[in-house]
Copies of this chain bind each other. A is one copy, B any other.
Amino acid sequence: MISNPPFSTSVRLLTEADLKRCVSLDLEALLRVEQAFAWLTERAVDMPPIQHISVSGSPTDGRHGGDVDIKSAFVPGLDAFAVKIASGFFGNSALGLPTGSGLMVVLDAGTGFCRAVLLDNGLLTDLRTALAGGVAAKHLAPETVTTAGILGTGRQAELQARALFLVRPFDRLLIWGRHAERAQDLMTRLQATSDGASLAELEIRCLPSAEEVVRQSQCVVTTTPARRPLIRADWLEPGRHITAMGSDLPGKQELEADVLRRADLCVVDRLSQCERLGELQHVEPEHRQDIVYGELGDLVSGRKPGRTSSDQVTVCDLTGTGAQDTAIALFALEKAEELGLGLEVETG
Protein backbone atom coordinates (compact mmCIF):
# COMPACT_ATOMS: atom_id res chain seq x y z
CA MET A 1 0.00 0.00 0.00
CA ILE A 2 2.96 2.33 0.36
CA SER A 3 4.34 3.68 -2.85
CA ASN A 4 8.08 3.51 -2.71
CA PRO A 5 10.61 4.80 -5.21
CA PRO A 6 12.57 1.83 -6.52
CA PHE A 7 15.91 1.40 -4.79
CA SER A 8 18.05 -1.40 -3.54
CA THR A 9 19.89 -1.72 -0.31
CA SER A 10 21.63 -4.68 1.21
CA VAL A 11 22.98 -5.22 4.68
CA ARG A 12 25.91 -7.38 5.71
CA LEU A 13 25.10 -9.56 8.65
CA LEU A 14 27.92 -10.85 10.84
CA THR A 15 27.57 -13.20 13.79
CA GLU A 16 29.76 -13.51 16.85
CA ALA A 17 31.34 -16.57 15.23
CA ASP A 18 32.25 -14.51 12.15
CA LEU A 19 33.55 -11.64 14.26
CA LYS A 20 35.80 -13.88 16.33
CA ARG A 21 37.61 -14.62 13.08
CA CYS A 22 37.99 -10.88 12.39
CA VAL A 23 39.09 -9.27 15.64
CA SER A 24 41.05 -10.42 18.62
CA LEU A 25 42.89 -8.92 21.54
CA ASP A 26 46.09 -7.97 19.75
CA LEU A 27 48.19 -4.92 18.98
CA GLU A 28 46.54 -4.29 15.62
CA ALA A 29 43.14 -3.92 17.30
CA LEU A 30 44.70 -1.92 20.13
CA LEU A 31 46.00 0.64 17.63
CA ARG A 32 42.50 1.05 16.20
CA VAL A 33 41.01 1.68 19.62
CA GLU A 34 43.87 4.04 20.43
CA GLN A 35 43.03 6.00 17.29
CA ALA A 36 39.46 6.43 18.54
CA PHE A 37 40.75 8.46 21.47
CA ALA A 38 42.75 10.65 19.12
CA TRP A 39 39.57 11.28 17.09
CA LEU A 40 37.84 12.50 20.22
CA THR A 41 40.54 15.11 20.72
CA GLU A 42 41.33 16.05 17.15
CA ARG A 43 38.04 15.91 15.26
CA ALA A 44 34.57 17.35 15.74
CA VAL A 45 33.17 13.95 16.73
CA ASP A 46 29.45 13.95 17.40
CA MET A 47 29.20 11.62 20.37
CA PRO A 48 25.81 12.15 21.99
CA PRO A 49 25.15 11.29 25.63
CA ILE A 50 24.67 7.58 26.28
CA GLN A 51 21.06 6.48 26.07
CA HIS A 52 20.31 4.38 29.12
CA ILE A 53 17.25 2.12 29.39
CA SER A 54 16.45 0.78 32.80
CA VAL A 55 14.59 -2.53 32.48
CA SER A 56 12.75 -3.21 35.70
CA GLY A 57 12.47 -6.75 36.98
CA SER A 58 9.21 -8.58 37.42
CA PRO A 59 8.94 -10.75 40.54
CA THR A 60 5.83 -12.52 39.19
CA ASP A 61 7.68 -14.11 36.29
CA GLY A 62 11.11 -14.22 37.91
CA ARG A 63 12.74 -11.59 35.69
CA HIS A 64 15.59 -9.71 37.34
CA GLY A 65 15.75 -6.76 35.02
CA GLY A 66 18.88 -5.02 33.82
CA ASP A 67 20.35 -2.10 31.97
CA VAL A 68 20.79 -1.28 28.32
CA ASP A 69 23.20 1.39 27.13
CA ILE A 70 23.26 2.83 23.63
CA LYS A 71 26.39 4.55 22.43
CA SER A 72 27.29 6.06 19.12
CA ALA A 73 29.78 8.42 17.55
CA PHE A 74 30.02 10.00 14.14
CA VAL A 75 33.61 10.85 13.26
CA PRO A 76 34.08 13.40 10.45
CA GLY A 77 36.22 11.92 7.69
CA LEU A 78 34.91 8.37 8.09
CA ASP A 79 32.33 7.04 5.66
CA ALA A 80 30.43 5.04 8.27
CA PHE A 81 29.77 4.99 11.99
CA ALA A 82 28.39 2.64 14.59
CA VAL A 83 25.46 2.57 16.95
CA LYS A 84 26.07 0.11 19.75
CA ILE A 85 23.44 -1.51 21.98
CA ALA A 86 24.88 -3.18 25.08
CA SER A 87 22.96 -4.95 27.80
CA GLY A 88 23.84 -6.06 31.31
CA PHE A 89 21.40 -8.36 33.07
CA PHE A 90 22.87 -9.68 36.30
CA GLY A 91 20.17 -12.30 36.78
CA ASN A 92 21.44 -14.10 33.67
CA SER A 93 24.25 -15.89 35.48
CA ALA A 94 21.70 -17.85 37.51
CA LEU A 95 20.30 -19.04 34.17
CA GLY A 96 23.73 -20.08 32.92
CA LEU A 97 23.75 -17.18 30.48
CA PRO A 98 26.27 -14.38 30.08
CA THR A 99 25.42 -11.19 31.91
CA GLY A 100 26.34 -8.96 29.02
CA SER A 101 25.19 -9.04 25.45
CA GLY A 102 24.59 -6.63 22.62
CA LEU A 103 25.03 -5.83 18.97
CA MET A 104 26.38 -3.07 16.76
CA VAL A 105 24.80 -1.43 13.76
CA VAL A 106 26.97 0.25 11.13
CA LEU A 107 25.37 3.14 9.25
CA ASP A 108 26.57 4.78 6.04
CA ALA A 109 27.61 8.37 6.74
CA GLY A 110 26.55 9.42 3.25
CA THR A 111 23.00 8.09 3.16
CA GLY A 112 22.15 7.02 6.72
CA PHE A 113 21.35 3.54 5.37
CA CYS A 114 22.24 0.51 7.42
CA ARG A 115 25.36 -1.08 6.02
CA ALA A 116 25.91 -3.92 8.48
CA VAL A 117 24.57 -5.51 11.63
CA LEU A 118 27.17 -7.09 13.87
CA LEU A 119 25.39 -9.67 16.03
CA ASP A 120 28.40 -9.96 18.31
CA ASN A 121 26.63 -10.75 21.61
CA GLY A 122 28.85 -8.13 23.24
CA LEU A 123 32.16 -9.50 21.93
CA LEU A 124 33.29 -6.24 20.33
CA THR A 125 32.31 -4.24 23.41
CA ASP A 126 34.34 -6.59 25.57
CA LEU A 127 37.33 -6.24 23.26
CA ARG A 128 37.25 -2.47 22.84
CA THR A 129 36.81 -2.04 26.59
CA ALA A 130 39.78 -4.23 27.36
CA LEU A 131 41.87 -2.58 24.64
CA ALA A 132 41.14 0.86 26.11
CA GLY A 133 42.73 -0.45 29.31
CA GLY A 134 45.75 -1.39 27.21
CA VAL A 135 45.84 2.09 25.69
CA ALA A 136 45.68 3.69 29.14
CA ALA A 137 48.55 1.53 30.40
CA LYS A 138 50.60 2.23 27.27
CA HIS A 139 50.59 5.94 28.02
CA LEU A 140 50.44 5.95 31.81
CA ALA A 141 51.82 2.78 33.40
CA PRO A 142 55.48 2.64 34.42
CA GLU A 143 57.76 1.45 31.59
CA THR A 144 58.44 -1.75 33.46
CA VAL A 145 55.66 -3.59 35.15
CA THR A 146 56.81 -6.79 36.80
CA THR A 147 53.70 -7.31 38.89
CA ALA A 148 50.21 -6.47 37.68
CA GLY A 149 47.02 -6.60 39.70
CA ILE A 150 43.40 -7.16 38.80
CA LEU A 151 40.45 -6.44 41.07
CA GLY A 152 37.35 -8.32 40.01
CA THR A 153 36.87 -11.76 38.50
CA GLY A 154 34.46 -11.35 35.57
CA ARG A 155 34.97 -11.33 31.84
CA GLN A 156 36.69 -7.94 31.85
CA ALA A 157 39.05 -9.11 34.58
CA GLU A 158 40.33 -11.74 32.17
CA LEU A 159 40.42 -9.48 29.14
CA GLN A 160 42.01 -6.54 30.92
CA ALA A 161 44.84 -8.79 32.11
CA ARG A 162 45.42 -10.01 28.56
CA ALA A 163 45.23 -6.49 27.09
CA LEU A 164 47.64 -5.13 29.68
CA PHE A 165 50.09 -7.89 28.85
CA LEU A 166 50.20 -6.67 25.23
CA VAL A 167 51.77 -3.36 26.31
CA ARG A 168 53.36 -4.24 29.66
CA PRO A 169 54.46 -7.88 29.61
CA PHE A 170 54.47 -8.49 33.37
CA ASP A 171 55.94 -11.55 35.13
CA ARG A 172 53.38 -11.93 37.87
CA LEU A 173 49.66 -11.34 38.12
CA LEU A 174 47.77 -10.85 41.37
CA ILE A 175 44.01 -11.25 41.57
CA TRP A 176 41.46 -10.29 44.16
CA GLY A 177 37.71 -10.76 44.08
CA ARG A 178 34.98 -10.79 46.68
CA HIS A 179 34.37 -14.48 46.04
CA ALA A 180 37.50 -16.61 46.42
CA GLU A 181 36.18 -19.38 44.17
CA ARG A 182 35.55 -16.93 41.33
CA ALA A 183 39.10 -15.63 41.66
CA GLN A 184 40.34 -19.22 41.40
CA ASP A 185 38.18 -19.69 38.34
CA LEU A 186 39.62 -16.56 36.73
CA MET A 187 43.11 -17.87 37.43
CA THR A 188 42.24 -21.11 35.66
CA ARG A 189 40.87 -19.22 32.68
CA LEU A 190 43.96 -17.07 32.46
CA GLN A 191 46.22 -20.10 32.61
CA ALA A 192 44.35 -21.81 29.81
CA THR A 193 45.88 -21.66 26.36
CA SER A 194 44.83 -18.71 24.32
CA ASP A 195 45.39 -17.74 20.72
CA GLY A 196 46.39 -14.22 21.81
CA ALA A 197 49.09 -13.28 24.27
CA SER A 198 49.41 -16.33 26.49
CA LEU A 199 49.63 -15.88 30.23
CA ALA A 200 49.89 -19.61 30.80
CA GLU A 201 53.56 -19.49 31.77
CA LEU A 202 53.21 -16.70 34.32
CA GLU A 203 52.92 -16.77 38.06
CA ILE A 204 49.30 -16.00 38.82
CA ARG A 205 48.09 -15.76 42.42
CA CYS A 206 44.84 -14.97 44.18
CA LEU A 207 45.29 -12.75 47.22
CA PRO A 208 42.86 -12.39 50.10
CA SER A 209 42.59 -8.58 50.02
CA ALA A 210 42.48 -5.77 47.49
CA GLU A 211 45.02 -3.92 49.62
CA GLU A 212 47.66 -6.63 49.18
CA VAL A 213 47.12 -6.65 45.41
CA VAL A 214 47.42 -2.87 45.20
CA ARG A 215 50.46 -2.65 47.46
CA GLN A 216 52.37 -5.31 45.50
CA SER A 217 51.50 -4.24 41.92
CA GLN A 218 52.94 -1.48 39.75
CA CYS A 219 49.81 -1.46 37.66
CA VAL A 220 46.28 -2.32 38.78
CA VAL A 221 43.08 -2.56 36.76
CA THR A 222 39.75 -2.46 38.60
CA THR A 223 36.91 -4.28 36.83
CA THR A 224 34.11 -4.51 39.38
CA PRO A 225 30.56 -3.16 39.67
CA ALA A 226 31.45 -1.76 43.14
CA ARG A 227 29.43 1.02 44.71
CA ARG A 228 31.91 1.61 47.52
CA PRO A 229 35.61 2.35 47.06
CA LEU A 230 37.89 -0.69 46.87
CA ILE A 231 41.18 1.23 46.75
CA ARG A 232 42.37 3.74 49.32
CA ALA A 233 44.74 6.55 48.51
CA ASP A 234 47.16 5.74 51.32
CA TRP A 235 47.94 2.37 49.73
CA LEU A 236 49.58 4.05 46.76
CA GLU A 237 53.36 4.16 46.66
CA PRO A 238 55.15 6.26 44.02
CA GLY A 239 55.40 4.68 40.58
CA ARG A 240 51.95 3.15 40.45
CA HIS A 241 49.25 3.23 37.82
CA ILE A 242 45.57 2.41 38.28
CA THR A 243 42.99 2.02 35.52
CA ALA A 244 39.44 2.07 36.88
CA MET A 245 37.00 0.72 34.34
CA GLY A 246 34.14 -0.60 36.44
CA SER A 247 32.29 2.60 37.17
CA ASP A 248 29.98 3.46 34.30
CA LEU A 249 26.75 4.49 36.01
CA PRO A 250 25.75 7.00 38.64
CA GLY A 251 26.46 5.57 42.08
CA LYS A 252 29.29 3.24 41.05
CA GLN A 253 32.71 3.74 42.62
CA GLU A 254 35.91 1.70 42.79
CA LEU A 255 38.41 4.33 43.95
CA GLU A 256 38.31 6.57 46.99
CA ALA A 257 38.05 10.12 45.66
CA ASP A 258 41.40 10.82 47.33
CA VAL A 259 43.01 8.39 44.87
CA LEU A 260 42.20 10.85 42.09
CA ARG A 261 43.44 13.77 44.22
CA ARG A 262 46.62 11.89 45.10
CA ALA A 263 47.45 11.11 41.44
CA ASP A 264 50.08 13.20 39.67
CA LEU A 265 48.22 12.53 36.43
CA CYS A 266 44.50 11.86 36.54
CA VAL A 267 43.27 11.04 33.04
CA VAL A 268 39.72 10.34 31.84
CA ASP A 269 38.41 8.82 28.63
CA ARG A 270 35.75 11.50 28.16
CA LEU A 271 35.36 14.26 30.71
CA SER A 272 31.61 14.77 30.26
CA GLN A 273 30.96 11.05 30.80
CA CYS A 274 33.34 10.57 33.71
CA GLU A 275 31.73 13.45 35.56
CA ARG A 276 28.37 11.70 35.44
CA LEU A 277 29.26 8.02 35.35
CA GLY A 278 32.89 7.45 36.25
CA GLU A 279 35.07 7.83 39.33
CA LEU A 280 35.06 11.57 38.81
CA GLN A 281 31.42 11.77 39.92
CA HIS A 282 32.67 11.39 43.51
CA VAL A 283 34.91 14.47 43.34
CA GLU A 284 33.14 17.75 44.07
CA PRO A 285 32.38 19.57 40.79
CA GLU A 286 34.44 22.61 41.79
CA HIS A 287 37.59 20.49 42.24
CA ARG A 288 37.34 18.42 39.06
CA GLN A 289 39.10 20.91 36.84
CA ASP A 290 42.11 21.04 39.17
CA ILE A 291 42.29 17.28 39.42
CA VAL A 292 41.86 16.14 35.81
CA TYR A 293 45.04 16.30 33.77
CA GLY A 294 43.39 15.55 30.45
CA GLU A 295 41.53 13.06 28.31
CA LEU A 296 43.20 9.90 27.06
CA GLY A 297 43.04 11.38 23.55
CA ASP A 298 45.28 14.26 24.65
CA LEU A 299 47.98 11.70 25.44
CA VAL A 300 47.43 9.61 22.30
CA SER A 301 47.52 12.64 20.03
CA GLY A 302 50.62 14.02 21.76
CA ARG A 303 48.93 17.20 22.94
CA LYS A 304 49.96 16.33 26.48
CA PRO A 305 52.69 13.94 27.58
CA GLY A 306 51.70 10.77 29.44
CA ARG A 307 53.85 9.48 32.28
CA THR A 308 57.16 11.36 32.36
CA SER A 309 58.83 9.86 35.40
CA SER A 310 58.96 6.47 37.03
CA ASP A 311 57.76 7.69 40.40
CA GLN A 312 54.55 9.38 39.32
CA VAL A 313 51.22 8.05 40.49
CA THR A 314 48.77 7.88 37.59
CA VAL A 315 45.09 7.06 37.32
CA CYS A 316 42.84 6.54 34.31
CA ASP A 317 39.06 6.65 34.65
CA LEU A 318 37.35 4.76 31.80
CA THR A 319 33.61 4.83 31.15
CA GLY A 320 33.63 3.56 27.55
CA THR A 321 32.99 5.75 24.52
CA GLY A 322 30.96 5.50 21.35
CA ALA A 323 34.14 6.43 19.46
CA GLN A 324 35.67 3.11 20.54
CA ASP A 325 32.57 1.34 19.26
CA THR A 326 32.79 3.04 15.89
CA ALA A 327 36.51 2.20 15.69
CA ILE A 328 36.15 -1.50 16.51
CA ALA A 329 33.00 -1.95 14.41
CA LEU A 330 34.61 -0.48 11.30
CA PHE A 331 37.77 -2.48 11.90
CA ALA A 332 35.74 -5.69 12.23
CA LEU A 333 33.72 -4.88 9.13
CA GLU A 334 36.87 -4.19 7.09
CA LYS A 335 38.30 -7.54 8.16
CA ALA A 336 35.04 -9.34 7.43
CA GLU A 337 34.95 -7.85 3.94
CA GLU A 338 38.56 -8.90 3.33
CA LEU A 339 37.78 -12.43 4.49
CA GLY A 340 34.44 -12.54 2.68
CA LEU A 341 32.59 -13.37 5.88
CA GLY A 342 28.95 -12.75 6.66
CA LEU A 343 25.62 -12.90 4.98
CA GLU A 344 24.54 -10.23 2.51
CA VAL A 345 20.81 -9.63 3.01
CA GLU A 346 18.68 -7.73 0.52
CA THR A 347 16.27 -5.79 2.73
CA GLY A 348 13.98 -4.12 0.20
Contacts and interface: CB of A to CB of B under 8 A. Distances in A.
A92 interface: yes
B72 A89 contact: no
Contacts of A50: 51
Given A1-B194, A107-B87, A52 B48 contact: yes
Contacts of A17: 347-348
Judged by DSSP, the binding face of A is mixed
A15 B121 contact: no
Give the oligomeric copy count: 2
Contact of A3 (B95, B100, B114, B192): B192
A29 B297 CA distance: 48
Interface stretch (A53-61, A243-251, A253-261, A300-308): A53-61
A88 B96 CA distance: 41
A268 B120 CA distance: 38
A101 to B, nearest CB: 5
Interface stretch (A4-12, A34-42, A136-144, A216-224): A4-12
A296 interface: no
A158 B77 CA distance: 36
Contacts of A49: 49, 51
Q: Which size bracket describes the interface of A in this complex?
A: 35 or more
Interface in A113-128: 113-114, 117, 119-121, 123, 126
Interface stretch (A63-71, A167-175, A333-341): A63-71
A76 B58 contact: yes
Interface of A: 1-5, 7, 9, 11, 13, 15-17, 20, 24-25, 44, 46, 48-56, 58, 61, 63-66, 68, 70, 72-74, 76-77, 79, 81, 83, 85, 87-89, 91-92, 95-98, 100-103, 105, 107, 109-114, 117, 119-121, 123, 126, 155, 158-159, 162, 189, 192, 194-196, 343, 345-348
